[in-house]
Amino acid sequence: MIPKETVDLILDTSRIDEVVGDFVSLKKRGANMIGLCPFHNEKTPSFNVNPARGIYKCFGCGKGGNSVNFVMEHEHISYPDALRWLAKKYNITIAEEQKSDEQQARDNERESLFVVCGFAQKYYTQQLHESESGKAIGLTYFTERGFRPDIIEKFQLGFSPEGWRPLTDAALQASYKIEYLVKAGLTIQNEENPDKYFDRFRDRVIFPVHNVSGRVIAFGGRTLKSDKKIAKYINSPETDIYHKSNVLYGLYFAKKQIIQDDVCFLVEGYTDVISMHQAGIENVVASSGTSLTVEQIRLIRRYTSNVTILYDGDPAGIKASFRGIDLILEEGMNVRVLLFPDNEDPDSYSKRVSSEELKEFIRHNTKDFIQFKTQLLVGDTQGDPIRKAMLIREIVESIALIPDSITRSVYVKECSRIMDVEEQSLLNELNKIRRKNFEKRKDESARKPEIQHPETTEHDGHETGFVPDISAKPEETVSPIINCEAQEREIIRLMLNYGTQQIDADSEDEEGRPTTVPVPLAELLVHEIRQDQIIFGDTAAQNIFEEYARLLDSGTVPDLNYFTHHPQAEISKYTIDMVSIPYSLSNWERHFIYVQTEDMILKNAALHGVYALKLRRIEMMLHENQKELRNAANEEELLRILQQTQQLLEAKKYFSGMLGRVVVR
């Protein structure tokens, strides 16, 4: 257990903008910060962070919470582990019983895989620096590649010695379970003899792969032997913590620089990333030899919308990678390309020139994808109008993938200029391709089986479910359902946002004369709700109200942080939903326009909210009375219902008048 004092210290110390900023590129917008949501795919930012309140809220997918919730959701870990994650980030010591490696492995399978991967990384690194073969083979190789000791240490490079199972034996000796070594892809079980095991990575230099929070999740191993029968590189298999299509090598080390420079350099392999870092260019990641995937592109887009792909001088490889450019364009990102000289790649070129020369080369030789694609392929079209037309069509197909119409228009103009083709011709072809793509997506969607609710309709009003039964009774087809959800939410919203603020409540002095007394807004709301014994229909709203009332009775007025950091997830989530708004008021005062805000008229806002809730409950009671009238058993019961209805109508008239509404019947 983590002591409450330590939990409070972690919550007070952690800044939501710093925590989220490790994973999402945030930009200032008024008092809040915005970025692309890491929990769902989006192209327009709807993810809001409020540093003052210490909360985040996505108005696209609805997820929201505080620093702890974010770490839990993003890293898929428990509440205590999220607290430990934050404590580590802010160098806060947690005075709790330390778990043994075996206990940690038993916590859950996913965490166990992280643990054994962490052990393997330490083992490989130790072998590189301390074993004779590691120093003679592995360390010599990295040194000959020109890697400095600090870079070798930064990327936690290692060496796996010869032998069938040195890592497996070391892990078992340290009390790690063989099942987790196998599931992590570190150990392979012999298919013919299940009792025999051997290491996956043997006699290779090792490149650990980290997730975005810095935990080792996989490995790449390179052989130093010249035997062509031996695979040059082998990589970890897919596991519960490693999905190669969702991972970019080096992103953990690059993300801060990517955000700062607002561009991500994309290279091919491990050594390209490491060499670029050594040259002082840290905003670089690699797809680790796999074809670029949509998931990897969306991972980059969390931090920047600008990607520069760095290619070596191999034309065949470049042409094969054009699909990656199209995927980036389709995700609404900006693509630029840099081609290194013949027989050079990012690794070799960064070692041949100085850091400043490398930066200058990148600055002056980066091109947008149209210039790059045309210059690379135009040589194949000389004197052949058919091939030139095919090239133009291929480029227009790429432009057609861009979601933003203005960006498409700019690229069409650029293509028209470079290829000396009329702009209108390109636009005609572009529209034809986009229509074709649209019809294709439409057909694919139509083929997918969809389960729809009988009452579901499209936005244009056309029915997509079953046709309603028009022979049903009128009271069954008309929807008379009235609830108080909106009014209840408004009461709780006011209580959470302004509960501690003082207002002047109407009262009487000792002689019965009207006067006012200062009270917290929450006290006024609790008094008004309790007065009529109102119970909220929403469980979370009722729980917050009861908690507020209980604390007020004990002489404490809780602030917003009490509820945003509440240990009950339902209360915390409901609170953040209530206090998060997608818009903020502009600073009109700079134009000498003074706008009356809600906090200036709190008493009126509170009374308005209370009256609206009471009016809605009266309307619900009237509706119930109407049903009872139809089912009255005798005249006495009928008279009772009519009298009650009359009283409710009078109350409705009163509260409508307080709200400034006119009752016509």
Task: Report the top-level CATH class of 101-242.
Answer: alpha beta
Contacts of 388 (CB under 8 A, 6+ apart): 378, 381, 419
Least confident of 53-62, 204-213, 274-283: 53-62
Fold classification of 4-89 (topology level): DNA Primase; Chain A (3.90.580)
What are 75-90's pLDDT values in tens digits? 777 788 888 889 888 8
What is the reported pLDDT for 265?
94
Residue spans in the chain of domains classed CATH 3.90.980.10? 101-242
What per-residue string of b and e applies to 581-609 under the rule 16 or more CB within 10 Å gives b?
Answer: eeeeeeeeeeeeeeeeeeeeebeebbbbb
Q: Are 202 and 160 in contact (CB under 8 A)?
A: yes
**Mean of pLDDT over the chain:** 81
For residue 161, give the amino acid letter: P
Other CB atoms within a 10 A radius of the CB of residue 323 amount to: 12
326 φ/ψ sector (left φ>0, alpha ψ -120 to 50, else beta): alpha
Fold classification of 252-439 (topology level): Dna Topoisomerase Vi A Subunit; Chain: A, domain 2 (3.40.1360)
Q: Between these two residues, 373 and 190, which has the higher pLDDT value?
A: 190
284 pLDDT more than 60: yes
pLDDT bucket at 582, cuts 50 / 70 / 90: low
Tokens 């992280």: give the residue: 114
Burial classification of residue 320, based on how many CB atoms lie within 10 Å of its CB (0-12 exposed, 13-18 middle, 19 or more buried)? exposed
What are 485-499's pLDDT values in tens digits? 888 888 888 888 888
Give the predicted TM-score (pTM) of the model: 0.63
pLDDT bucket at 463, cuts 50 / 70 / 90: very low
Residue spans in the chain of domains classed CATH 3.40.1360.10? 252-439
Q: What percent of the chain has pLDDT over 90?
A: 20
595 pLDDT more than 70: no
Q: What percent of the chain has pLDDT over 70?
A: 84
Residue spans in the chain of domains classed CATH 3.90.580.10? 4-89
What are 355-400's pLDDT values in tens digits? 899 989 998 888 888 878 777 776 667 777 888 888 888 888 888 8
What are 396-449's pLDDT values in tens digits? 888 888 888 888 888 888 888 888 888 888 888 888 888 888 777 766 666 654
What is the reported pLDDT for 649?
86
What is the reported pLDDT for 150?
94
228 pLDDT more than 60: yes
